[in-house]
Structure 1
Amino acid sequence: MAGLLEKDLRLLLSRKQSIVMFLLLAVVLGFTQAGTFILGYLPFLGVILTISTISYDEVDNGYTFLMTLPIDRKTYVKEKFLFCISGAVSSWILAVVLYFLSGSLHGDKLVMINEIPMVLTFLAIVILLMAIMIPFQIKFGAEKSRIVMLIIFGIITVVSFVFVKIIGQETMNEIIEKMEHINETYIMMCGIFLVLLSTVVSYMISCKVMENKEL
């Protein structure tokens, strides 16, 4: 496991020029863009960069070589989840720091305790996206997984649009209004449960996909 983590870290460091450029861009955007943009941009970038290591493993029979080492397929999947979650959390922490610094520079009166639910929501969404992306990345590879993801999100968008049309905008507004009165702590607990459940299910699916994958 430690060897796989070191391998992936070295893979990322081999692209340090690109990473430094992205980080500089994130800092610039963080200080020039008011609002929560940086909270979504930087963690999502962290997930994309860490998940991209799966693509590197596919090149030049990389999977075949890795499986000759004293690791099994389940360990490989476990390491990918640990590495990607670490990347998401690390980039999220940096994004939160930039968000508060930017708010101070723009004269926004941000109270940390009041911002916690909102900043945690961004982390939850990014980890949820990561949980969706990893099984597709392992199954289809970089190029095909992007197409599959676009199709899935396209279907979700169409279904959401049709759903709103069927129930009507008035009913939808009533639902949203009722949701606004739900206790924030309850929403946070439900969100945490959903993210944990999605991650566990994604891990199990990824293990199954990896077990059936032809190397």
Structure 2
Amino acid sequence: MKGLFIKDFSYIKESKLLFLFLVLFGFGSSYFYKKPTFVLGYFSVFPGIILMSTISYDSINHGFTSLFTLPIKKEDYLKQKYSLGILLGLLFLFFAICISSIGYYRIQQSFHFLNSDFLQGCLLTLMFSYFVIAIITPVGVYFEAQRSQLAMIIVFGGIFLFVALIYFLTKFIGFDLETIIDSLIENHLSMVTLATVIFTFICNIISYHISLKLAFSILGFAKICFKTSTGAVIA
């Protein structure tokens, strides 16, 4: 698994200038436009995007076919990807907290914003990052590089349309869902945070098992391709 981390970090290191630009843009938006919370949501999608990029990089030119013929278990490959997602989520959350803290301090001239509500908000942001990872990992493994981007557009487009449909339906029948959600967050933030953590944890467990089944089918295909290319007899 160590070699898989080295491979992914080597790939990520090649995009260091892009990451620097993203961090500077987040800092500018938070500091100069006085919107400290912007950077929390802004950085929350990057762990999923980077993780998706590493999966796409692995699958380029039938990369999975070569990768899974090496002494690498599909379980180890997927555990490494989810572990990488956890590390990236924590890394970008650290950047977001530092930048948003600078923005808050500039506005308030104090550190009173560092309270339980702020920390729980950061935890909710982290859970959103992990929820995105739970969605994109099976999609990236199954569709590979050529179709993964289109698949992601379809998946997130479908989620957006579903949420928009629920929103307009509740508005149409006179059920103010937005007010209820705001009230829950304002009055029961700890309960919402705990429920979100449990929900995200369950989503990632389900995501892992789905990815495992998809990786199993890819592994079988890789073995067939390997035997064919080496002239071995396929049973």
Note if 1:47 corresponds to 2:48.
yes
Note if 1:107 corresponds to 2:89.
no
* 2:151 aligned partner: 148
Cα RMSD (Å) of the superposition?
2.4
Q: Give CA deviations for 1:112-140 in whole Å, capped at 9, x if unaligned.
A: 32312211111111110111011101111
Question: Using a 3 Å threshold, how does the CA distance of structure 1 residues 166 and 14 change in structure 2: closer, same or farther?
Answer: closer
Q: Distance in 2 between matches of 1:15 and 1:121?
A: 27
The offset of 1:85, in angstroms, is: 1.6
- Conservation of the 8 A alpha-carbon contact between 1:73 and 1:210: yes
Q: Give CA deviations for 1:28-83 in whole Å, capped at 9, x if unaligned.
A: 23322413110011232233123211111112443233224321112111111111
Q: Please tell me the residue identity of whatever aligns with 1:58.
A: S
Question: Using a 3 Å threshold, how does the CA distance of structure 1 residues 165 and 22 change in structure 2: closer, same or farther?
Answer: closer
Question: Using a 3 Å threshold, how does the CA distance of structure 1 residues 126 and 177 change in structure 2: closer, same or farther?
Answer: same
* Structure 2 stretches lacking a partner, 5+ long: 223-235
Task: Give the SS at the match of 2:72.
Answer: coil
Q: Distance in 1 between matches of 2:103 and 2:182?
A: 30
* Structure 1 stretches lacking a partner, 5+ long: none
Which stretch shifts more, 55-64 or 167-176? 167-176
* 2:18 aligned partner: 18
Q: Distance in 2 between matches of 1:168 and 1:38?
A: 30
TM-score, scaled relative to structure 1? 0.87
Note if 1:193 corresponds to 2:194.
no
- Conservation of the 8 A alpha-carbon contact between 2:170 and 2:177: no
* 2:211 aligned partner: 206
Q: Distance in 1 between matches of 2:80 and 2:53?
A: 14
The offset of 1:178, in angstroms, is: 7.4
Q: Percent identity?
A: 23
* Structure having the higher Rg: 2
Number of aligned residue pairs: 215
Question: Using a 3 Å threshold, how does the CA distance of structure 1 residues 19 and 210 change in structure 2: closer, same or farther?
Answer: same
Task: Give the SS at the match of 1:106.
Answer: helix
Q: Please tell me the residue identity of whatever aligns with 1:23.
A: V
TM-score, scaled relative to structure 2? 0.80
- Conservation of the 8 A alpha-carbon contact between 1:51 and 1:84: no
* 1:183 aligned partner: 188
Which stretch shifts more, 62-71 or 199-208? 62-71
Q: Distance in 2 between matches of 1:161 and 1:24?
A: 32
- Conservation of the 8 A alpha-carbon contact between 1:96 and 1:119: yes
The offset of 1:185, in angstroms, is: 2.3
